[in-house]
C-alpha cells in the first residue's frame, strides 16, 4: 500500500535546478539523514542525481521537487518495504523583492522531531502560509512553546543585530534549510535561541530558501525593517558559490 498517501510517510527536497552543483550534496545529505533518522530506505546519491537529470531534460533555472514515496504494510507502525521516486518539474516563479511577515497563531513544540525533517507531513506549514495570506502577508513567523522564533512556513530567517548575523537555533524546533546551510558555510552566522524582542532589535531581516534564494523583509506586523543592500549582496554571493555548476566529487559524500 502507499504509506505516503495513508500515513504521510515520505520525504522530499525542493530544488532550484541550475545544473549539477555542490548544493545538491546538501540536499542529498539532508534527505539521507532524515531517512536514517526514521529508519526508512533511501536511494543512493547516484540514483538521486540521475533521477533529477532525467526529469529536467537539460533545462536550467527551474523548479524541481524530488519526492520519495514509500510502500509497504498497511499497519501504521511497521516500516516500509521499498520506495518510489517521483520528480516534479515546473517553471520557477519569480521571487518578490521584499516581503511583509506576520506572526503565526499556530505554535511549534521544540521537542517535536517532525519539523526538523522535510517530510510529506506538510499540513502545518500549509496552514501557516494560508493564514498569513488571508491576512495580507507573504508569510508568517512561527514561534514555539517557549515563545522562541523558529522559521516561516517554508523558509529560514537571518537577523542583522548590530553588526552581527543570527539565525534561530535548530533546537527551537525548525528545519535547517540547505540554503541557510550553504550561506553559513561561507558567512559568520551565529545560531542562537531568539525571541520576538530580538526581531525588534534587528535592523534588517532576511528570508532564505532554495527557490527564493535570499530576500529582504520590509516589515513584520507594522515594524519596519531596512533593506541592507550590502548584507543582502554578501549573503547572495555566499550562496552563489554553492550554486555554480560543477562536476560533483562523490568523495565529498
Q: Are 137 and 101 in contact (CB under 8 A)?
A: yes
Q: Are 238 and 158 in contact (CB under 8 A)?
A: no
| Partner residues linked to 97 by β-bridges | none
Joined grid coordinates for residue 71: 510502500
Give the pLDDT confidence of 13-55 residue by residue, as tens digits. Answer: 999 999 999 999 999 999 999 999 999 999 999 999 999 999 9
CATH assignment of 3-93?
A: 3.30.470.10
Q: Smallest Cα–Cα separation from 189: which of 177, 200, 1?
A: 177
Residue extents of the structural domains in the chain: 3-93, 98-241
Asked whether residue 61 carries a pLDDT value surpassing 80, the answer given is yes
Length of the chain: 253
Give the pLDDT confidence of 193-247 residue by residue, as tens digits. Answer: 999 999 999 999 999 999 999 999 999 998 999 999 999 999 999 999 999 887 6
State the Cα angle at 94 between 15 and 104, rounded to 5°: 75
Give the pLDDT confidence of 96-150 residue by residue, as tens digits. Answer: 999 999 999 999 999 999 999 999 999 999 999 999 999 999 999 999 999 999 9
Asked whether residue 9 carries a pLDDT value surpassing 60, the answer given is yes
Kindly state the helix (H) or strand (E) to which residue 50 belongs, with its residue range.
helix 45-56
Among the four given CATH numbers 3.20.20.70, 3.50.50.60, 3.20.10.10, 3.40.1710.10, the one describing domain 98-241: 3.20.10.10
d(C-alpha 67, C-alpha 164), whole Å: 36
- The position carrying cell 548575523 is 165
Amino acid at each position: 500500500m502507499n504509506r505516503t498517501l495513508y500515513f504521510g510517510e515520505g520525504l522530499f527536497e525542493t530544488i532550484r535546478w541550475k545544473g549539477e552543483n555542490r548544493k545538491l550534496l546538501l540536499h542529498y545529505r539532508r534527505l539521507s539523514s532524515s531517512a536514517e533518522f526514521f529508519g526508512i530506505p533511501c536511494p543512493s546519491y547516484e540514483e538521486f542525481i540521475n533521477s533529477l537529470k532525467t526529469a529536467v531534460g537539460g533545462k536550467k533555472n527551474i523548479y524541481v521537487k524530488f519526492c520519495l514515496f514509500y510502500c509497504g504494510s498497511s499497519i501504521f507502525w511497521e516500516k516500509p518495504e521499498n520506495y518510489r521516486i517521483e520528480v516534479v518539474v515546473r517553471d520557477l516563479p519569480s521571487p518578490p523583492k521584499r516581503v511583509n511577515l506576520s506572526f503565526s497563531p499556530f505554535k511549534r513544540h521544540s521537542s517535536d522531531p517532525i519539523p526538523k525533517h522535510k517530510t510529506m507531513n506538510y499540513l502545518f506549514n500549509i496552514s501557516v502560509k494560508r493564514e498569513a495570506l488571508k491576512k495580507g502577508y507573504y508569510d508568517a513567523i512561527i514561534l514555539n512553546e517557549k515563545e522562541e522564533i523558529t522559521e516561516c512556513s517554508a523558509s529560514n530567517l537571518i537577523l542583522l543585530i548590530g553588526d552581527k548575523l543570527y539565525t534561530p537555533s535548530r533546537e527551537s524546533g525548525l528545519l535547517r534549510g540547505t540554503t541557510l546551510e550553504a550561506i553559513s558555510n561561507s558567512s559568520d552566522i551565529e545560531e542562537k535561541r531568539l525571541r520576538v524582542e530580538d526581531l525588534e532589535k534587528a535592523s534588517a531581516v532576511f528570508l532564505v530558501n532554495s527557490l527564493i534564494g535570499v530576500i529582504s523583509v520590509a516589515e513584520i506586523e507594522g515594524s519596519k525593517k531596512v533593506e541592507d543592500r550590502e548584507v543582502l549582496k554578501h549573503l547572495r554571493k555566499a550562496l552563489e558559490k554553492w550554486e555554480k555548476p560543477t562536476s560533483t566529487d562523490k568523495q565529498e559524500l
